[in-house]
Chain A
């Protein structure tokens, strides 16, 4: 089946540094990818919708300058957490749907656990 690869699976960084997370669709193309954040024992919170070749759409309350999204190709979207702080520590998950099968299942990456120290 379709696979979404997310990298890295975990990262520890110092406060004030930036971290880039990659999300790739391995065997399908995705014009749109979605970035979620999950706090411990909570559901997924949609952060932003990443659109290939155009600006991302951010959900209310999500700082676009803090969470930079780039979707340069039909198979890759990146989320950069800039000037990370301990409160940014969380589990980040990306999702993508096959461009040819928009009304079917969404596939998720394995997630990235970010710890800011």
Chain B
């Protein structure tokens, strides 16, 4: 079945860049997503990338997609303490109205 893997923890210093990595197994995925979850809150969509793209940039966020290796990354430039949260990578395994498949989430800690 579909599987999405992420490293569980990442710690960076304020002002540095953070890179959160994700691998997925389903090559038919059409969209891949990054969500942010702050403590006690729901999921906030940060960005998504269509599978025929290899990069997407949105302000401090850069998403890189290597479809051959099924590898997705999220880079946060100039990381701030407010970026501390859990970041989930997710994919839609196939077209249609199917649920997202999530990774276990990467807990980003930003040290001042």
A residues engaging B (CB < 8 A)? 6, 31-32, 34, 41-44, 46, 49, 91, 93, 95, 97, 102-111, 113
Contacts and interface: CB of A to CB of B under 8 A. Distances in A.
Query: Interface size for chain B: under 10, 10 to 19, 20 to 34, or 35 or more residues?
Result: 20 to 34
B97 A31 contact: yes
Interface in B55-112: 88, 90, 92, 95-97, 99-100, 102-105, 107
Contacts, number: 56
Interface of B: 30-31, 33, 35, 40-45, 48, 88, 90, 92, 95-97, 99-100, 102-105, 107
Nearest to A35: B99
A95 B95 contact: no
Given A43-B88, A43-B104, A104-B48, A34 B43 contact: no
Given A41-B107, A44-B102, A97-B97, 10 more contacts: A32-B97, A34-B99, A49-B99, A95-B43, A95-B99, A102-B97, A103-B30, A106-B90, A108-B43, A109-B42
Contacts of A102: 95-97
Q: Main SS of chain B's interface residues? A: loop
Contacts of A46: 99
